[in-house]
Chains A and B, each alone.
Chain A
């Protein structure tokens, strides 16, 4: 069964450093998302992406965040200058249709900022 993959599974970085989280969505999906989940809290929407541009973004997704689809398979989230409060699990998700209820989530990247 096709699945969303994410690398790395765990990333440790120092405050102020840039990180890039990588995702490979399901191959025939056209809509891509990033969510984050601070430990013990709810999943929070960050950004959605379609046709090589951002469709929607939340208040969390400020200027330090960016997304890119550099080739036909990868979807990346860049955090330019990490802060302690960026420590969280970051989930990538994809869906075949837009606005769809059924999004497929990757296993997540745990980001720890020290």
Chain B
């Protein structure tokens, strides 16, 4: 089967750094995306890794290791507004177009 594993909850304080890990097992793996979802909201795109290594976008960075089937999202200088659920999603080529296979999400709580 296809699955992505990530921690269910993480708590951190404002200004801190937090890393959310994701391990995956999928066929037709093409890359790893990260999405943020606030309560009651839609998933919004954060980052994507097609190649091994680190991608940096402002306070957020994402890492991928294909050989280890592992990636992580790194959030720096945490702010209260970062409290949300974070999903890793494998970009999966089961056919001609590709689709996203989501993990179960990590609920991040940022405390003052």
Q: Knowing A42-B105, A106-B42, A107-B42 are in contact, say whether A101-B96 is a contact too (CB < 8 A).
A: no
CB distance from A112 to the nearest CB of B (A): 15
Residue of A nearest to B32 (CB): A101
- Contact check: which of A41, A91, A102 meets B42 at CB < 8 Å? A91
In the complex the two chains form, is A45's CB within 8 Å of B100's CB? yes
Chain B contact residue count (CB 8 A cutoff): 28
| B71 within 8 Å of A (CB atoms) | no
Q: Is the CB of A101 within 8 A of B33?
A: yes
B101 contacts partner chain A, Cβ-Cβ < 8 Å: yes
- How many A-B residue contacts, CB cutoff 8 Å? 69
Residues of the A chain whose Cβ atoms lie less than 8 Å from the Cβ of B103: 42
Could you list some 26 contacts between A and B, CB below 8 A?
A35-B102, A41-B104, A42-B104, A42-B105, A43-B87, A43-B89, A45-B101, A45-B102, A48-B98, A48-B99, A50-B96, A56-B96, A56-B97, A56-B98, A56-B99, A91-B43, A99-B30, A99-B97, A100-B91, A101-B31, A101-B33, A103-B45, A103-B100, A105-B43, A105-B44, A107-B41
Query: B102 near A43 (CB under 8 angstroms)?
Result: yes
A100–B44 alpha-carbon span in the complex (Å)? 14
Give the shortest distance, in Å, between A74 (CB) and chain B (any CB): 18
